[in-house]
Structure formats: C-alpha cells, structure tokens
Amino acid sequence: MKKTIADIAKIAGVSKSTVSRYLNGGSLSDATRRKIEHVIKETGYIPNSFAQSLKAKKTSMIGAIVPRLDSFSASQTVTGMDEELRDSGYQLLIINTSQNLSREIEALYDLARQKISGIVLFATQITEAHLKAVKEIGIPVIFLGQQHQDVHSIIYNDYAAGYDMGRYILAQGHRNIAYLGVTEKDVAVGVQRKRGFQAALKEQAGAKAGFYESGFKMSAAVKAASDILDNCDPHPSAIVCATDNIALGVMKAAHMRGIRIPEDISVTGFGGYDVTEVIHPGLTTVKYGYESAGRLAARHIIKLVQDEPLDALTTLSYEFIERESVDKMERHPLY
Amino acid sequence: MKKTIADIAKIAGVSKSTVSRYLNGGSLSDATRRKIEHVIKETGYIPNSFAQSLKAKKTSMIGAIVPRLDSFSASQTVTGMDEELRDSGYQLLIINTSQNLSREIEALYDLARQKISGIVLFATQITEAHLKAVKEIGIPVIFLGQQHQDVHSIIYNDYAAGYDMGRYILAQGHRNIAYLGVTEKDVAVGVQRKRGFQAALKEQAGAKAGFYESGFKMSAAVKAASDILDNCDPHPSAIVCATDNIALGVMKAAHMRGIRIPEDISVTGFGGYDVTEVIHPGLTTVKYGYESAGRLAARHIIKLVQDEPLDALTTLSYEFIERESVDKMERHPLY
DNA sequence: CTGAAAGCGCTTACAG
DNA sequence: CTGAAAGCGCTTACAG
C-alpha cells in the first residue's frame, strides 16, 4: 500500500509539517530526524511529486520537441541537452513528433499543460501556428536549427558552410557541378546552404551548376542520384549534397553502377555524421557540433527559465572536413 | 496570468464542478457548454495536469530507461516504443543514463516518484540493486535485452544468432577464425552470442577459433582489431564480431593497413545497423528488429499496467543477412 | 524545534 | 442539468 506523508507522520509520531521539513531540509532535532529517517527507510516511502509540483507551481522539467529520434543529429543533440540539463538539476522530457508538423503544435500545448519550465523545439519549418502556440503557452521556447525574429533561436551557419563547400569544390578544379538539395521549406538546409554555394559559384568564372532536389531519406537520394548519373550529359564531375545522408545515397547509387568515387565522380555532404568517417572513401563534409549545440540549447533555455538575459540569435560554427571523396581535377585534365 | 478552473467558472458564471464536467465530457446543457467553451477559448485556459494527476493518482506515462540515446539500436527501439505508446494514449518519458549503471537504479526510483505507470528498462547488466529497486517501487517493469526470472523480460535470440553465424562462416570454408567479443558482464551480447558461435564451432572438425575482447566503441574495436591483424600468425581468415559497431572498427583497421575485405580477410557483425548496408563491401550480419521490439515492449508494458496476463519471457527472432564481407574460401585454397 | 491550518487546482460522489 | 463540499498529498507561513 502506498504511504503518504500523513502515514509517515503518524508512524513516527510527529506532524506532517515536520516530515515535510525533513524532506526539504528544514531544521529539526536530531532525535526527530532519526525517527523519521528510520520510518521512511522502513516503509519505502516515496513522496508524490504531483502534490509537490502542485504547490511549487512549476517543475524542473525542460521539454525537447524533436522531429525524430533515430537520426544522428537528433540523437546527438538530445544527448548533449540531456547531460547539461541533468548537471543543472533539470529533467529532460522528449517529445517525438515523427516528422509531423502539426504534432509539434500539439506538443507545445501538451508541455504547457504539464507545467514544463521551458521548451527547445528542434525546428525544420516554422509556421504561423508555431508562432501562435509559442505566444499562447507563455513559457520560454527556443528554436534550434531555424531562426525567427520573435523567438530565441540557435542556428548553424549554413550559409557560410555552403559558401566554403562551394569554394572548396571550385578550388579543386570542378567546373560542372550538380547540387543535390532539399525542399526550400526547410530554410536552413534547403535555402541557406544552397545560397552559400551559389555565392561561391558566382565568384568563379566558367563554373556552372545544375540544381536538383531530393528527399531527406537515403532511399530518396539514391533515386535522385540515379537520375543525375544516368541522364546528365555531360556528367558533372562532382555532386554537392545538402546532407550527409543524401551523399551516402549518392555514393550507393554510384557503387551500384560501378562508378568510382572520387575517380569518376566526386561527392560531398553536410553534417559530419560519424559514418562519413568510417566509409570508404571517407566523405568530405562540413561537421556541425550537434552535441555541443544541445548543451548550448540547454544552457540557454535555463537562462530563459531563470529570467536571465539572452541574445535573440546565436549562430553556431562548423568544421570543414576534407577527406577522400573529392578528386583534385588537375589529375584528370579530360574534364 | 495563469487561469485556474475557478477563474473560468467565475467568468462563465457557473461552478467549478460544471467546468470540470465540461473538461471531462460530462453531461451539461448546450447553453452552458457554449458559454464555457467560449471562455476557455478566450482565456487560453490550460488545466493543470498536476492537480489532475493528484486526484487520479496515476499518470498515463511510461518510462524508458536507456543507457544511451545516440546508438542505432537504442534510438530505433525508443522510436518504436514511442509510436506504439502514443497510439495507445500513453506518453513516453525517456531517461538517459549515459551508460552509468547506478543511474539506472536512481532512474527507477525517480520514475516511481513521478507516478509513472510502467517502466521498460533497456538492460545491459542486471545487478542485485536493480532487482531490489524493481521490487521496492512496486510498479510494473520490463527488462528489454536481458532476462531475469523475477522480472518480465524481452530478449533477442542471441544464442541462436551466434550459432547461425558460426555455421555460416564454417560453411564458407573458414577454419581459422577470430571471435572478437565483449565483456561477459553483458550476458546477451558477451555470453550468449559467443556460446552460440562456439556450439557451431564444436560441430565442425578441424575448425578452431581464437577469442578476443573489445569495448563497444568503434575506437576500441579498431585497437583490438589492430592487435589481431598485426600479431596473429597465421592470420585468421575471418573475424566474427559481436556487434556491427565492432565490425565497422575492424573494417576500418583493415582499410588502414591496405588489407582487403573480403579477399584478404572476412568480417561479420551482429545487429543489422543501417550503415552496414551502405558501406562497401556490405557487411554480413544478423539483423534484429529494434523498432518492432520497441513496439512490442510498449504493448507488453501496457498489458502489465492494465493487469493483463503476460508471459514472463519473450524471445525475439532475427534475420540473417548475407552480404559481401565474407569470402567463399574455395576460391582461395591457400588458406 | 514543532504543530494546526490553509491552500495549491483539480475531481467526484452527493444532493437538489 | 448544476452546485457545495470534501479530498488528493504535499508545503508553508504563523503560532507557540
């Protein structure tokens, strides 16, 4: 049978107030302390956290709304958040929306009902409904991955990353490039990376690129890549992919055709997933620090919860990683 | 300002009971219903779920205690659980222990305090403290991945998988094999898979194997593999790895030495991670259905929560996946 | 140092 | 159909 604070008080022969004081570190005599301690150990009493929270009118929970759990970036980010939050005495509540936008909205209201202290939303697309919900629930929210002027945001420097990648590819001598991107609805991945790449392209005379679109899944990328590989004439000498996952798909499509990387075609990604280092050849990519981004998001949301000042926008850096998937064109003057 | 049910009642000119009835689908006149509906919409009222749970004396939350979030198996399993639970009206609360055993114990008590309805523990090692905690908290618990007679368990058929893998490798003609396993503290991965493999080995005259141990991380596997590759004389013709991650490490170590797979050495894994299909050559492995295991665990814990009967032990099947990482030995009679 | 009482925001018999 | 009252299990001034 579940014990309540009243039971403990009765058994120990003291008042509920005293037991509560024991639980919350108030001052009491050694004798009472020992008595209560003993009874609690005996009975295995566990305080009801609802009653506690009802009084406290808040929790020490932070919510994370994520589109999926089974992706490298999401799981790394969540792990970072979790560790930082735990160190600060907060608990993380993860809501998985299975890439369903309207579920993000529901989750916002749900978390509010649960008196969560703050929310980090792993954003892909920001709609009016998002903004409205954030306003209505009246608890601190941070967007991670996308930015909006009305909400505190943390983003990666996707534009600069795209620019760097463009410069790199061009510097290796590539002049006929295929850019395999994603929907522009995702501003960070679909627009910014591409814009950065295009900016680099514009600076290089004689360079041209074809722009293609793929889904986020590897299977979609295989299909999109097959299309490029089979139908583009002349072949581009490099395919710049908007994500590592897409790059993996391209590599697979190439393998299936006996097209060698990087000898026959070069491939690059964005993200810096662990796999990109294991595969052969290693993938040249831009690495984002997902785990530390998660930690940062945790620190930021805590600041907001505690009413401390916080910049509206934080832009995260990245690391360019050169591996073996890009050919130095001078070795193949035929292109 | 946060509204309570009393505020809504006052504004709508009805009693708290009536508002509560509205919220919980009790019967009330159309006129009152409309009035209350209107006020709630106006004010953006969100009921306090603590007060609700305090009365209800339970939640519709299920806890998952996981050693880490950023692994393929964990994230897949959690995703499966999450989807199944949501379909059944439960919410999933994930606790990440960062591979810290004592945190699993803490988590058990924590979740009890939060009046979670049931818990699925992604088990690696089961200690006395685990058993004691499960007993004390008095709420349903399921072990996933390891078994214990006192607790409902779901496991993979690791022994049979190991046996199949052994048979397969031997059938390809390999006679000098290295088995790269993990600590025996992990009964499922460290003991059962190996035992299964050994059973197959015993059935084949003239076959022998060396047994080695690695950590779970790829970096540890690279090191362990380097040791085998550099020091074993004669070279084994195949390395059977206890996990895909370890196999990946072995492949990396081989690549670094210019040792070809499968021409120079064969490699196999266990797990069926997505990457194993993308890499080149594809890894021969045993695929566990993590996501459906998660769904099953969800259904099982719900049964327990609802006091329905449930088998103490469920053993999950697997799928043997033959790819290109194992050499048919007849082509290389020199071994 | 300790206890009685009020209150956190809901729900639920029980009357009417 | 609707309301007054008690109670869920805690915490927290306020007295003593």
B245-281: per-residue pLDDT in tens?
999 999 999 988 999 999 999 999 999 998 898 888 8
Closest-CA residue of B relative to A252 is: B278
Please tell me whether any atom of strand C lies within 7 Å of the Cβ of A114. no
- The pLDDT-based confidence of B25 (bands split at 50, 70, 90) is confident
- The C-alpha atoms of residue B211 and residue B218 are separated, in whole angstroms, by 18
Residue A124: what pLDDT? 95
Q: How many helices (H) and strands (E) does chain A have?
A: 13, 12
- The C-alpha atoms of residue B129 and residue B104 are separated, in whole angstroms, by 10
B280 chain-A contacts, CB cut-off 8 A: 255, 279-280
Q: CB count, 10 Å around CB of A148?
A: 16
Distance A110 CA to D11 C1' (A): 26
Residue A335: what pLDDT? 41
- The C-alpha atoms of residue A14 and residue A40 are separated, in whole angstroms, by 13
- The C-alpha atoms of residue A155 and residue A312 are separated, in whole angstroms, by 11
What amino acid occupies position B295? R
- The C-alpha atoms of residue A126 and residue A124 are separated, in whole angstroms, by 7
Average pLDDT score over residue span B48-74: 86
Average pLDDT score over residue span B227-244: 92
Of B296 and A32, the structure prediction assigns the larger pLDDT to B296
Distance B4 CA to D3 C1' (A): 18
B47 chain-A contacts, CB cut-off 8 A: 113
- Cβ pair B50:A53 closer than 8 A: yes
Average pLDDT score over residue span B226-255: 93
A228 touches chain B (CB under 8 A): no
Residue A85's nearest CA partner among A114, A62, A67 is A62
Q: What is chain A's pLDDT, residue by residue, as a tens digit (335 residues)? A: 578 888 888 888 888 889 888 888 777 888 888 888 888 888 888 888 788 888 777 778 899 999 999 999 999 999 999 999 988 888 899 999 999 999 999 999 888 888 888 999 999 999 999 999 999 888 899 999 999 999 999 999 999 999 999 999 999 999 999 999 999 999 999 999 999 999 999 999 999 999 999 999 888 999 999 999 998 878 899 999 999 999 999 999 998 899 999 999 999 999 999 889 888 889 999 999 999 999 999 999 999 988 899 999 999 999 999 999 999 876 544 44
- The C-alpha atoms of residue A248 and residue A268 are separated, in whole angstroms, by 9
Please tell me whether any atom of strand D lies within 7 Å of the Cβ of B114. no
Minimum distance, in Å, between the CA of residue A138 and any CA atom of chain B = 9
The model's pTM: 0.87
B298 CB-near residues (< 8 Å, 6+ apart): B62, B80, B81, B82, B84, B85, B88, B90, B120
* Per-residue exposure over A123-146, b if at least 16 CB sit within 10 Å of its own CB, e if not: bbebeeebeebbeebebbbbbbbb
- The C-alpha atoms of residue B255 and residue B265 are separated, in whole angstroms, by 11
Crossing angle for the helix pair B72-87 and B290-305, nearest 10 degrees?
A: 40
- Tens of pLDDT, residue by residue over B141-152, are 999 999 999 999
Q: Are A273 and A76 in contact (CB under 8 A)?
A: no
Q: Are A50 and A59 in contact (CB under 8 A)?
A: no
Residue A1: what pLDDT? 59
| Alpha helices by DSSP H, A62-155 | 72-87, 101-113, 128-137
Nearest protein residue, CA measured to C1' of C13: B17
Residue B43: what pLDDT? 86
pLDDT more than 70, % of chain B: 98
- The pLDDT-based confidence of B239 (bands split at 50, 70, 90) is very high
Closest-CA residue of B relative to A261 is: B280
Tokens representing residue A216 in the block? 């986020």
Mutation site for B-interface testing, chosen from A23, A42, A46 by largest number of B Cβ within 10 Å? A46
Instruction: Name A residues 250-279 whose Cβ lies under 7 Å from strand C.
Output: none
- The C-alpha atoms of residue A248 and residue A276 are separated, in whole angstroms, by 8
Closest-CA residue of B relative to A279 is: B279
Closest-CA residue of A relative to B63 is: A93
Average pLDDT score over residue span B287-300: 97
Residue B333: what pLDDT? 43
Tokens representing residue B230 in the block? 């550099």
Q: Are A285 and A321 in contact (CB under 8 A)?
A: yes
Closest C1' nucleotide to B7's CA: C9
Q: CB count, 10 Å around CB of A241?
A: 31
A138 chain-B contacts, CB cut-off 8 A: 2
φ and ψ at residue A333, rounded to 5 degrees: -60, -15
Distance B19 CA to D15 C1' (A): 38
What is the residue-wise DSSP string for A223-240? HHHHHHHHH-SSPPSEEE
Please tell me whether any atom of strand C lies within 7 Å of the Cβ of A16. yes
Is the pLDDT at B335 greater than 70, yes or no? no
- Residue entry with tokens 């609360």: B93
Instruction: Tell me the pLDDT of chain B averaged across its residues.
Output: 91
B252 touches chain A (CB under 8 A): yes
